Amino acid sequence: MRIHEYQAKALLARYGVPVPRGSVACSPTEAKNVAAEIGGRVVVKAQVYAGGRGKGGGVRAVNGPEGAEEVAGQLIGTRLVTPQTGLEGVPVSKVLVEEASQVSRELYLGILIDGMSHSPVMMASQAGGMEIEEVAKSAPEKMLRSYIDPAIGLQPFQGRKLSYGMNLDGGQVGEGVKLMVNLYKLFVDNDCSLAEINPLVVTADGKLVALDAKLNFDDNALFRHKDIQELQDKGQEEPLEIQAHDWGINNYVKMDGDIGCMVNGAGLAMAVNDLIQYCGGRAANFLDIGTLNNTERVLNSFKMFVADQRIKAVLVNIFGGMARVDVIARGIAEAYQQMDIPFPVVIRLAGTNLEEGQQILVDSGVSYIQAEDFYDGARKVVQAAKGVKK
């Protein structure tokens, strides 16, 4: 799960990580008031779940309250397009107004979980402000890593090594160590999957400040962080994905094609999407219905397809294991009963309770295209989609 920059900074501040003075504003007037309170030069930053905001014109420095009001007016209520969003951009409903910092150096600091060592790793670099993958690629020697033993946490010596490695001087080293220890504490306390300060700046007067911050949280751990869950801004997420989630379909990802897919199992669902592309089509979604045996989720998947104007044909591919084919079949039959299905449906069934499932479909009189295996299913659904004019 992601949160906004202003929320991330509030959390950082609570853990003693220095952030610029500022506040969030939902309207130009609020932006003006915040700027007046701060005084002097301020930065207005669009709050969206996307990076590359600077390049998209979403971060602008202005002089005084009137400037802040004007820029906030230009940003709030529009959609911001950045190199990391699609052409349709993401909606801006809030801006963060904060004091402009006098930056002398831009550094990078981040924590994530390293899959090879099975431990959190703190990464630091003198090359802040750019995408971290770029740094790792273009100047891997500049990326410093310190692996953290989860039993004892980040130790001061590790913070010192990273601080000296980033060329902090004298008093900044102590400040840096404190900041890193606090960031690690925040990471662990809140089950983060990523905590990134980029850039971490050294100001003209030698202070360390988190100028931008990104905190992501482990979805599997949200059950023990209700406060974090409440921070999610659903307006920033893909509407179809939010809809799917509300209907109990947690594993749904919107894709850019026109073939709806309903599959059980994440690996199989990915493989089905790959096969559709191999056969010359494009999937409109990734949808793993999981293994909960109820017809409602099948019914809701069909509701998703009907609501999605792009869909020209649907492929259902079920390999029953924990999920039972008869339950899925009953769900499909119910879907046909309850709604008008305006597209051809290709169905491939295999596994647990296959015969019962096939019988249910036969008895219900549902009209569909039967597929022998998932290759056959992919071929047939691509053909079916091509025959539909939309």
Partner 1 sequence: MSILVDDGTRLLVQGITGSEGSFHTQRCIAYGTKVVAGVTPGKGGSEHLGVSVFNTIEEAMSETGANASLMFVPPAFAADGILEASEAGMPLVVCITEGIPVLDMVKVHRYLKGRSTRLIGPNCPGVISPGKCKAGIMVGEIHVAGNVGVVSRSGTLTYDVVSQLTSLGIGQSTCVGIGGDALPGSTFVDILRLFQADRDTKAVVLIGEIGGTMEQEAAELISVEMTKPVVAFVAGATAPPGKRMGHAGAIITGSAGKAPEKMKALSQAGAIIAPTPAEVGLTTKKVLERV
Which residues are marked as active site? 108, 196
User: What type of residue sits at position 159?
Assistant: G
Stretch that binds partner 1, among 97-105, 162-170, 218-226, 335-343 (CB under 8 A): 218-226
Does residue 336 bind partner 1 (CB under 8 A)? no
Stretch that binds partner 1, among 18-26, 69-77, 294-302, 371-379 (CB under 8 A): 371-379
Distance CA 15, CA 49 (A): 22
Residue from 100, 341, 350, 366 in contact with partner 1 (CB under 8 A): 350
Residue from 288, 300, 312, 316 in contact with partner 1 (CB under 8 A): 288
Task: Give me the helices (H) in the chain, please.
Answer: 5-14, 28-38, 64-75, 132-138, 156-165, 170-189, 226-229, 239-246, 266-278, 295-307, 325-338, 354-364, 374-386
Measured between its terminal Cα atoms, the distance across the chain in Å is 35
Smallest distance, partner 1 to C-beta of residue 180, A: 18
Does residue 140 bind partner 1 (CB under 8 A)? no
Residue from 40, 87, 88, 118 in contact with partner 1 (CB under 8 A): 118
Smallest distance, partner 1 to C-beta of residue 113, A: 6
Does residue 113 bind partner 1 (CB under 8 A)? yes
Does residue 36 bind partner 1 (CB under 8 A)? no
**DSSP tag of 101:** P
Residue from 103, 221, 242, 366 in contact with partner 1 (CB under 8 A): 221
Cis ω before 199 (30° cut-off from 0): yes
Contacts of 130 (CB under 8 A, 6+ apart): none
Does residue 239 bind partner 1 (CB under 8 A)? no
Distance CA 283, CA 342 (A): 17
Does residue 331 bind partner 1 (CB under 8 A)? no
Residue 304 burial (C-beta neighbours within 10 Å; 0-12, 13-18, 19+) = buried
Smallest distance, partner 1 to C-beta of residue 73, A: 31
Q: Long-range CB contacts (< 8 A, 24+ apart) of 57-63?
A: 58/82, 58/92, 61/100, 62/35
Smallest distance, partner 1 to C-beta of residue 182, A: 17
Residues lying near partner 1 in the complex (CB under 8 A): 113, 115-116, 118-120, 133, 136, 149-151, 188, 191, 193, 218-221, 223-224, 251, 253, 255, 263-271, 273-278, 282-283, 286, 288, 319-322, 350-352, 373-375, 378
